[in-house]
Structure 1
Amino acid sequence: MASQGTLALLERLAAPDLPEIPSPGPDTPVAISADLRHSGYKLAPIDLNLFPGGWHNLCPAAIPRASELLRRWAERQGLRGRRVVVLAEAMTRNPAYAENLVTIGRALRGAGWDVDYIATLDDDQPVLVPTMTGDAVELHPLRVEDGCLLNSDGEPADWAFSNNDFTSGVPALIESVRTPIAPPPRLGWHQRRKRAFFEAYDQVATDWASRAGIDPWVLIPETVAIDDVDFWNQQGLDRVADAVEAMLARIQAEYDRRQIDDQPFVVVKDEAGTFGMGVLTVDDAEVIRNPNRKTRQKMQRGKAGRPITSVLVQEGVYTRDLLGDCVAEPVAMAVDGVMTGGFFRYHCSRTETENLNAKGMVFARLCCATDPAGCPGDCHRDDLRYRAYGRVIELAAAAAAEEVAQGAS
């Protein structure tokens, strides 16, 4: 793992004498992942997922740690019993997603639960979904009886671990169930908006950085939300362009003050979605004010064909991490608010300003610093990055807990 530029920020964030981050509480999500960007002078989350995928990209040494934290989270939530169902997406032809489910199951079984996989399927028969490694996951049709989700044996599940982000809405069968579901379906992308997380993160990171004697600017990407937009019909785009223009000017002023030579850019992104869809890198507001057909089409719809009607305009953060000659960005994962592991997403056909969550991306594991002996040869053993990324994902977890609490109030 190489880095263009200084490692001073990573070293500062990895220092052992920094203040504690707010402890996990009742609203701490069971698991999160965050896409991070490290420019040398800034290390910040640019996206946060409450229904994280990519578990199979973690170093194997991270899974026992995840099991321990899953058990701790469940105890604090007062969850009892041994029967857990993983509420999955109905991706019956996606080996990578199936591998992800296998790893989630491994972590849950390591915590002592019996695990089944359920999903909203087209018929009432189980489906075998092949994994990347030649195994298979058996997805069972979602069934409810007396308000309880059932496992494959027809027994009531004690709780459900959701790996379905409900982009298309919550199935009617689930809306009235009494079985605890974590995260709750109300936090799915049919309803959740990214601004809530970034507003909470701004406050959490600012408070912690002030106590740590660290400039909050190095941790926070400026973010502005714009509603009522329609790229295809070019409605509301003047407001987006004005926000882009103003943010580029603010970034340039900050760069001038800090003697940073980079050219400012911003990212315009779908405010409710994942999979790297609906993401546009911009260094000139005219791209938004007068979009070409390709731009309009790219920003028309998100995952599952959902129309994009609100966007974030976010400060662009360069990525200066490299794997070989390819630009890379870390993805960190936390269970019960604690850094559990991570991996690098890298892309050999993209630049340091572009969205790397795109066709052609490749993943590389980040070694778990707490158990280096358990890391196989294909894991990148980097204690400095692991600790620095850990600070940021744990700040993000504290912010996600605030987001969940505010959404429940």
Structure 2
Amino acid sequence: MVPHLITALTGPINELEQRILESMPAIERWFRLEWMEHTPPFYSSVDVRNAGFKLAPVDTNLFPAGFNNLNPEMLPLAVQAAMAAIEKICPEAKNLLLIPERQRNNSFYQTNLATLVRIFTQAGLNVRLGSLDESITEPTALPLPDGSALTLEPLLRKRGRLGLKDFDPCTILLNDDLTAGVPRLLEHLHEQYLLPPLHAGWGLRRKTAHFRAYEEVAKKFAKLLGMDHWLINPLSVGVSGNDLASPQGIEALQTQVELVLSKTRRKYKEYGINEKAFAVIKPDAGNCGAGILTVRDAKDVEDLGARVRERLRHCGEGAGAFELIVQEGVPTNERVNAAVAEPVVYMMDRYVVGGFYRVHADRAADESLNAPGASYVPLAFAQSSQLPRLGEKPGASAPNRFYMYGVIARLGMLAASYELEVTDPEAEVYA
């Protein structure tokens, strides 16, 4: 199913779709060569925004939840991708330790865990759950909506290895994004593979580093296709070390907002886009939708100062200096049942394994949809297992549209691999 597009089906998105389909052999070869040089994240999800005049990722998550929202028909793809990923990392793997978030009262998240357990069990692994929550001192049942249950067990650290009672895994998979920092339990593990690596957690990771890497990837890809990389890249700048309670901090934020807005307006004029440019202010670390604000004029920043501070505190940020990213706002012109929607693409290793539409009836096209009240439509990728249909009219085929989304999502995933290489504290060159 392709949702309704407000934008007429005669714009740059259709031109981009056609160009991507016509260039499919070159694109797939390009990705193949990139993956010979770079290691993909173990798993990831990318939020994509289709404005009708540009298509760009606005967030890349390296600890994705929401596997329960994928179409069950797509799970065999995830199992195959999991097998490929595990074979590369630890071919003799028998035991997998899955470490979830600390929350225990979220049935949706627990169903996500059950889906991950199912995927890796079918990939040939013994899967058990270990908790970072120190209050878990004995095996604890996590009831699931279908009447079944998962068992959460206390972690045991022994001679530099992490495991459970009578369970010594060679691979540890984190599904906790480490926003609160890196627990000592996870540091300096001996001969165990920890996925994703610790520096992928939000305690260390920054969106500005990711989108710098994404811009590099987008430029390479755009050169391959002979197009303007702006059509797939959201302009982004960082603002750090400023106290938003001070005039200097507000002024620094205003300067960067105006920079993004002015560049965006120039691009709109170049492409004849009759839209009002806007910018999005986000925390530079973390995945908190409540911390995102939309602005259409740099003058609005002064009035928003208190709201920004309050929203950042809601996301766990303290008082004082803030790290922010100001990003070109990419509106979404997709609708599911008249509600604003955006595709979210899920990947494991280097493979697209499915996705869904995040839908929010109470949000506008220029707002973040990653907020309380969002719903999910897993049918969105129901036909994505079919091969793209070359020669069809752009916008007319679900497989073609979703192939394009998958390409953009893979660019985000590739950017994450660039990012993790550059920020790896054990790499020879640290930046």
Amino acid across the alignment from 1:140: E
- Between 55-64 and 119-128, report the one with greater CA deviation: 119-128
Q: Would you say the 8 A contact 1:32–1:48 is kept in 2?
A: yes
SS in 1 for 2:241: coil
Gaps of 5+ in 2: 388-396
Amino acid across the alignment from 2:6: Q
Match of 2:200 in 1: 187
Residues in 2 aligned to 1:193 and 1:400: alpha-carbon distance in whole angstroms: 11
Match of 2:381 in 1: 367
Residues in 1 aligned to 2:96 and 2:245: alpha-carbon distance in whole angstroms: 43
Amino acid across the alignment from 1:344: Y
Q: Provide Cα deviations, 1:248-281, integer angstroms capped at 9, x if missing partner.
A: 1111111111100000000000010113131111
Match of 1:387 in 2: 403
Q: Would you say the 8 A contact 2:384–2:398 is kept in 1?
A: no
Match of 1:227 among 240, 255, 258: 240
State the 1:231 CA deviation: 3.4
Q: How many residues align?
A: 400
SS in 2 for 1:406: helix
State the 1:62 CA deviation: 2.1
Residues in 2 aligned to 1:305 and 1:126: alpha-carbon distance in whole angstroms: 33
Residues in 1 aligned to 2:407 and 2:386: alpha-carbon distance in whole angstroms: 19
Whether 1:22 and 2:39 are equivalent positions in the alignment is: no
Whether 1:399 and 2:390 are equivalent positions in the alignment is: no
Q: Would you say the 8 A contact 1:162–1:182 is kept in 2?
A: yes
Match of 2:20 among 13, 19, 22: 13
Whether 1:318 and 2:334 are equivalent positions in the alignment is: no
State the 1:176 CA deviation: 2.7
Q: Provide Cα deviations, 1:94-136, integer angstroms capped at 9, x if missing partner.
A: 1111011111111111211110011112131122223344432
SS in 2 for 1:290: helix
Match of 1:214 in 2: 227
Amino acid across the alignment from 1:19: I
Match of 1:259 in 2: 272
Whether 1:164 and 2:176 are equivalent positions in the alignment is: yes
Residues in 1 aligned to 2:146 and 2:56: alpha-carbon distance in whole angstroms: 33
State the 1:161 CA deviation: 1.1
- Between 221-230 and 361-370, report the one with greater CA deviation: 361-370
Residues in 2 aligned to 1:198 and 1:227: alpha-carbon distance in whole angstroms: 15
Q: 1:234 to 1:167 in 2, by over 3 A?
A: farther
SS in 1 for 2:258: helix
TM-score, normalised relative to structure 2: 0.87
Amino acid across the alignment from 1:367: F
State the 1:232 CA deviation: 5.1
- Between 174-183 and 70-79, report the one with greater CA deviation: 70-79
Match of 1:73 in 2: 85
Residues in 2 aligned to 1:382 and 1:136: alpha-carbon distance in whole angstroms: 36
Q: Provide Cα deviations, 1:190-210, integer angstroms capped at 9, x if missing partner.
A: 111111111111111111121
Q: Provide Cα deviations, 1:49-100, integer angstroms capped at 9, x if missing partner.
A: 1111111111112221111112212222244221001111111111111011
Match of 1:94 in 2: 106
What RMSD over aligned residues (CA atoms) do the two structures have, in Å? 2.1
Q: 1:256 to 1:372 in 2, by over 3 A?
A: closer
Structure 1 or 2: more helix by fraction: 2
Whether 1:331 and 2:339 are equivalent positions in the alignment is: no
Q: Would you say the 8 A contact 2:96–2:170 is kept in 1?
A: yes
Whether 1:142 and 2:174 are equivalent positions in the alignment is: no
State the 1:167 CA deviation: 0.7
Match of 1:341 in 2: 354
Residues in 2 aligned to 1:213 and 1:230: alpha-carbon distance in whole angstroms: 42
Match of 1:376 in 2: none
Match of 1:377 in 2: none
Q: 1:18 to 1:134 in 2, by over 3 A?
A: farther
Match of 2:254 among 216, 219, 241: 241
State the 1:235 CA deviation: 5.8
State the 1:182 CA deviation: 0.5
